[in-house]
Amino acid sequence: MFEDTQTGEWIKTWGKLEALGAEIVIPGHGRPTNIEEVTKYTRDYLVHMRREIGAIIENGGELGDAYKVDQSAYEHLDTFEFLALRNAARIFQEMEFE
């Protein structure tokens, strides 16, 4: 995720990716895989993070609380240790003013 990434739009448009019917998907991180894996570890991750961070914001939480979101289901992924906290911050910043 980058500064201008819009995770909500990414989720909304996911169906267009699935509609391509690709047998092999080459993600931005990791090895070539299939749409089921990419959906599980990208779209479902974004849905999880937005749900958790949305609850934090709704309850008056702050950026520091976003760092505490449980992302353990994704810790086996290659880039987890480098991106987990960064992603939490980015999604919080994106959602803070939605």
Assess if residue 88 is contained within a domain.
yes
Domain extent, residue 37, equals: 7-95
| pLDDT value of residue 82 | 92
Query: Rounded to whole angstroms, how far apart are CA atoms 34 and 2?
Result: 24
Assess if residue 74 is contained within a domain.
yes
Instruction: State how many domains the chain has.
Output: 1
Assess if residue 1 is contained within a domain.
no
Assess if residue 2 is contained within a domain.
no
Burial class for 88, CB neighbours closer than 10 Å (0-12, 13-18, 19+)? buried
pTM above 0.95, yes or no: no
pLDDT exceeds cutoff 90 at 29: no
* Interval 40-94: pLDDT, tens: 999 999 999 999 999 999 999 999 999 999 999 999 998 899 999 999 999 999 9
| pLDDT value of residue 3 | 82
